[in-house]
Chain A
Amino acid sequence: MSKKMHIKLNVNGKDEEFLAEPRELLIYTLRERLNITGPHIGCETSHCGACTVTIDGKSVKSCTMFAAQADGKEITTIEGIGTPDSLHPLQEAFKEHHGLQCGYCTPGMITRATKLLEENPNPSEEDIRFGMAGNLCRCTGYQNIVKSILAAAAEMNAAKEAAE
């Protein structure tokens, strides 16, 4: 075991500070150390995307990043997206359009989709299928996930227009 490292993170707006071995994976930090269990482990090889979080504005698979690499960074997980009283339009849309079944991929899926819509507020179906290809789902066949994201985009754009 190597010497522990001093790591500071901001997760969902909250500062966290702890000592960790250099080999500690970020998904482990989130799930075991901070009890943030929304991001899930599906493969530990960056293929499935169940562990997707946002780090300094980018979608990252937290199973293949060391906690030490996230030192000083801002992290958003599904727990930081919407609240029970005010769901994010993507959360509403996934419910409305049956965009999930077992729910295991859903936190990563929605977290990734928030970034996709930030980068491209008017995605085509093809844009969505390409932009979400790093997140695997075994249950839905993606059809209703795509539908949910299209619906959320429309909803968010309408709200933005109304506000302007």
Chain B
Amino acid sequence: MKDEVESRDDRVANLKGMGCSRKRVEDARFTQGKGNYVDDIKLDGMLFGDFVRSPYAHARITSINAEEALKVPGVLAVLTAADLEPLGLHWMPTLAGDKQMVLADGKVLFQGQEVAFVVAEDRFAAADGIEAVEVEYEELPVIVDPFEAMKTDVVLREDLVADDGSIPDGAHGPRTHPNHIFTWEAGEKEATQQVLDNAEVLVEESMYYHRTHPCPLETCGCVASMDKVNGKLTLWGTFQAPHAIRTVVSLISGIEEHNIRVVSPDIGGGFGNKVGAYPGYVCSVVASIVTGKPVKWIEDRMDNLMTTAFARDYHMTGKISATKEGKITGLHCHVTADHGGFDACADPTKFPAGFMNICTGSYDIPTAFLEVDGVYTNKAPGGVSYRCSFRVTEAVYFIERMVEVLAIELGMDAAELRRINFIKKEQFPYKAALGWEYDSGDYHTAWDKALTSVDYDGLRAEQAQRVEDFKAGKTRKLMGVGLSFFTEIVGAGPVKNCDILGLGMFDSCEIRIHPTGSAIARLGTISQGQGHATTFAQILASEIGLPADSITIEEGDTDTAPYGLGTYGSRSTPVAGAATAMAGRKIRAKAQMIAAYLLEVHDNDVEFDVDRFVVKGAPEKFKTMKEIAFAAYNQAIPGIEPGLEAVSYYDPPNMTYPFGAYVCVMDIDVDTGVPEIRRFYALDDCGTRINPMIIEGQVHGGLTEALAVALGQEIAYDDMGNVKTGTLMDFFLPTAWEVPNYETDHTVTPSPHHPIGAKGVGESPHVGGVPCFSNAVHDAFRAFGLRQTNMPHDHWRIWKTANELGLHD
């Protein structure tokens, strides 16, 4: 037999298990144009739906007349709120405990809001129909500034004010103004104030983390098909959480959940955009029920940027106190959070500001307080986690800017200031001032490795020389050294405190081993480019001793996959990856009994070795997992059921806390405002590494999305609530030309509570990258007195900064 001549190393290599850069199994179809994305789905008689959208940001609707539209050739139906009302579907619940209009119910609250749904034979006819729908609007005062929203008499949400004018509590407690959504607090208010009052050094700084958008290359969309004969609804769509979508559809439509099948086919990138439930999904379902035909809805790019899922929009004010030597003693953070017209933020129910309370970062800060005010404005709803766990990007940006500002105040090197404040290795598990328990970390080692790798002292010397040269008129380019050290909180999450719409945030894996020693495993998550079919098979290969190439991974079909909460917030590996390992261990436990029976020894006398069970002390006596799989199906084994299957639902005991150290070296032309990234070094510690190739790919991609956000990408509004960045002409997506080559590095600090020690990595580079790029811009101007300037640092804003500092004089 082949096995007998193979060395143990060969057997390990043959599995392509954890730790190897296995090539992706997804790529064959994608490189040949054979992916199956939602817009590729074509069903007999399928219709196409599209929206009449509001040109106004705040207006009453006095009438909607669809008469002419219905005369347009190819147009079959026009749905309005009045049509949905009898079904109770003109409003829908949001993930944040608010409700949102599916179609405008008497008024609109943001530009691009869905007003009517035109159903036609194809998308050209739908566009003709949209043109012919007559809507009369009566303009109302527009509020785009959240601070103004908290003062104005203009009420955006009359539905949230009682008849007597009083303001009922919201989903997250008392509201103080009609446009106020919630106030959320963490930490010790008075104790923090006391520390700040008595501080040797105190710095205060305000910063605005601008509104942006995940903008995956594929927009959102769905195909709804109501089979009236069998009473079954099938809904294909760009869903990052297909099981949750099924439950939501059932709850709001009244269709029993077993009669709903939700399928996420291949997804062309998500980055948080595809977590929420959108009016397009509801209208497609209704239209399919009304017409009896399948109905497809696909956003165009403007719809996508203007209406589904903005990210960020946090106005943050911080106070940080320290000793004269630089030891941080306290932190205070206040956020005014602009949530737009409806609170549709995608956060676990108990966390209306996500995990913003990770904002003490990687530092041992004894006392802290956080307060977040959520506010309604005339902007699109959303508030998704764009390539980050819930609000973690905002939190990390905040602390990484505050530390830089403190370094300026103290006249200290920002790397050294970080070093003396890091949580020490021996302090883990570390209970942070704002409530979280960090699982593991070795920050000093990572920091030293990063600074040594980039020759930090050399960079600072070069920078000092550059400043001299600039002052002497020898150069017009300044040099910035951007630093960031981040700690993420991912893998939501423990059911005890994490749920979405009451659904606990566990995840799942179900494995079936086939008689000939191959397998299929299904998970509650859904890949959007992360390569789950490749990496989850690697976890299993190592756990059950069958080659990854013999294991099919399937996700996204709610009729076949076990229930799970989906893929976002870097939760797939921490949660579903753990479920996969645990289900694999159940398989292994049964395999052990079968092996012992076949080898005629006691269960405890065999042990697992790579791809087989061997008799302890007699390695020549063994049964391979392949042989065991066959035995499970071909013979009666006393006391053991036939077959070899397992399922695991994994409720994580804690979040995981990946971390990393990034350095960006940037040259800035003060006359053009153009930044040139000379070098970017990224050290990530995501615990146990499953596939280094895929990790690197995730880091490259996350850093590029960070570059975009830090250096130009934004959803901007004018005073009338018009979106100024609604196409890819205005909304910055970096091309190959603007993006540098990144240097990647790593340390490995496994998570102590995760079955394989993995922490998740997809979002780390974005979370750490944004402050790193931004800090590089700030650092270039530090010698000339810059303390804080807001992102995005596009050429114009950088030029303006240089101008305001007198560098053009």
Measured between C-beta atoms, what is the minimum distance from B121 to chain A in Å?
11
- Complex: A82 Cα to B693 Cα, angstroms: 25
B471 in contact (CB, < 8 A): no
CB within 8 Å of A: which B2-46 residues: 23-24, 26-35, 37, 39-40, 42
Question: What residues of chain B lie closer than 8 Å to A138, measured between beta carbons?
Answer: 215-217, 269, 271, 701, 705, 733
B742 in contact (CB, < 8 A): yes
CB within 8 Å of B: which A100-157 residues: 100-107, 110, 128-130, 132-146
User: Is there contact, CB below 8 Å, between A23 and B124?
Assistant: yes
A54 in contact (CB, < 8 A): no
A32 in contact (CB, < 8 A): yes
User: Is there contact, CB below 8 Å, between A102 and B31?
Assistant: no
Measured between C-beta atoms, what is the minimum distance from B392 to chain A in Å?
20
A91 in contact (CB, < 8 A): yes
User: Is there contact, CB below 8 Å, between B737 and A37?
Assistant: no
7 more contacts with CB within 8 A, not counting A47-B727, A133-B735, are A28-B124, A100-B27, A102-B218, A129-B739, A133-B737, A142-B700, A145-B736
Q: Which of A82, A134, A138, A143 has the most CB of B within 10 A?
A: A138
Q: Which of B28, B31, B301, B700 has the most CB of A within 10 A?
A: B31
Which among B269, B529, B736, B741 is the interface contact of A133 at CB below 8 angstroms?
B736
User: Is there contact, CB below 8 Å, between A129 and B736?
Assistant: yes
With known contacts A43-B301, A101-B530, A138-B216, A106–B30 Cβ distance under 8 A: yes
User: Is there contact, CB below 8 Å, between A102 and B704?
Assistant: no
Which among A38, A103, A110 is the interface contact of B268 at CB below 8 angstroms?
A103
User: Is there contact, CB below 8 Å, between B40 and A37?
Assistant: yes
User: Is there contact, CB below 8 Å, between A35 and B42?
Assistant: yes
User: Is there contact, CB below 8 Å, between B34 and A141?
Assistant: no
Jot down 25 A-B pairs with beta carbons below 8 A, ordered by A.
Answer: A1-B73, A21-B124, A23-B124, A28-B123, A37-B37, A40-B268, A42-B217, A42-B219, A42-B268, A42-B301, A43-B728, A77-B33, A91-B32, A100-B27, A100-B30, A102-B528, A104-B216, A104-B217, A105-B217, A106-B35, A133-B736, A135-B735, A138-B269, A142-B704, A145-B736
- Complex: A47 Cα to B300 Cα, angstroms: 13
Residue tally, chain A, CB below 8 Å to B: 59
CB within 8 Å of A: which B300-314 residues: 300-301
B703 in contact (CB, < 8 A): yes
Question: What residues of chain A lie closer than 8 Å to B697, measured between beta carbons?
Answer: 98, 101, 139-140, 144
With known contacts A50-B217, A139-B529, A38–B33 Cβ distance under 8 A: yes
- Complex: A142 Cα to B672 Cα, angstroms: 25
A79 in contact (CB, < 8 A): yes
With CB as the reference atom, state the residue of chain B lying closest to A91. Answer: B31
B331 in contact (CB, < 8 A): no
- Ranked 7 nearest A-B pairs via Cβ: A38-B33, A103-B30, A102-B529, A104-B268, A141-B700, A78-B33, A141-B704
User: Is there contact, CB below 8 Å, between A79 and B700?
Assistant: no
User: Is there contact, CB below 8 Å, between B301 and A102?
Assistant: no
User: Is there contact, CB below 8 Å, between B269 and A100?
Assistant: no
B696 in contact (CB, < 8 A): yes
Which among A1, A45, A146 is the interface contact of B301 at CB below 8 angstroms?
A45
Measured between C-beta atoms, what is the minimum distance from A41 to chain B in Å?
7
Measured between C-beta atoms, what is the minimum distance from A135 to chain B in Å?
8
A6 in contact (CB, < 8 A): no
Q: Which of A47, A84, A96, A141 has the most CB of B within 10 A?
A: A141
Question: What residues of chain A lie closer than 8 Å to B671, measured between beta carbons?
Answer: none
User: Is there contact, CB below 8 Å, between B269 and A102?
Assistant: yes
A19 in contact (CB, < 8 A): no
User: Is there contact, CB below 8 Å, between B696 and A47?
Assistant: no
Measured between C-beta atoms, what is the minimum distance from B69 to chain A in Å?
15
Measured between C-beta atoms, what is the minimum distance from B713 to chain A in Å?
11
A36-60 interface mask toward B, CB cutoff 8 Å, 1 = contact, 0 = none? 1111111111011010000000000
Measured between C-beta atoms, what is the minimum distance from B122 to chain A in Å?
7
With CB as the reference atom, state the residue of chain A lying closest to B39. Answer: A41
A95 in contact (CB, < 8 A): yes
B636 in contact (CB, < 8 A): no
A87 in contact (CB, < 8 A): yes
Measured between C-beta atoms, what is the minimum distance from A7 to chain B in Å?
16
- Complex: A95 Cα to B728 Cα, angstroms: 28
- Complex: A23 Cα to B271 Cα, angstroms: 34
Which among B123, B529, B696, B735 is the interface contact of A103 at CB below 8 angstroms?
B529
- Complex: A101 Cα to B733 Cα, angstroms: 17
Question: What residues of chain A lie closer than 8 Å to B439, measured between beta carbons?
Answer: none
User: Is there contact, CB below 8 Å, between A95 and B531?
Assistant: no
Measured between C-beta atoms, what is the minimum distance from A140 to chain B in Å?
5
Question: What residues of chain A lie closer than 8 Å to B33, measured between beta carbons?
Answer: 36-39, 77-79, 107
User: Is there contact, CB below 8 Å, between A110 and B31?
Assistant: yes
- Complex: A77 Cα to B33 Cα, angstroms: 9
With CB as the reference atom, state the residue of chain B lying closest to A134. Answer: B735
B267 in contact (CB, < 8 A): yes
User: Is there contact, CB below 8 Å, between A40 and B39?
Assistant: yes
User: Is there contact, CB below 8 Å, between B735 and A143?
Assistant: no
Measured between C-beta atoms, what is the minimum distance from B617 to chain A in Å?
43
User: Is there contact, CB below 8 Å, between B696 and A98?
Assistant: yes
Question: What residues of chain B lie closer than 8 Å to A142, measured between beta carbons?
Answer: 700, 704, 735-736, 739
- Complex: A98 Cα to B744 Cα, angstroms: 15
B229 in contact (CB, < 8 A): no
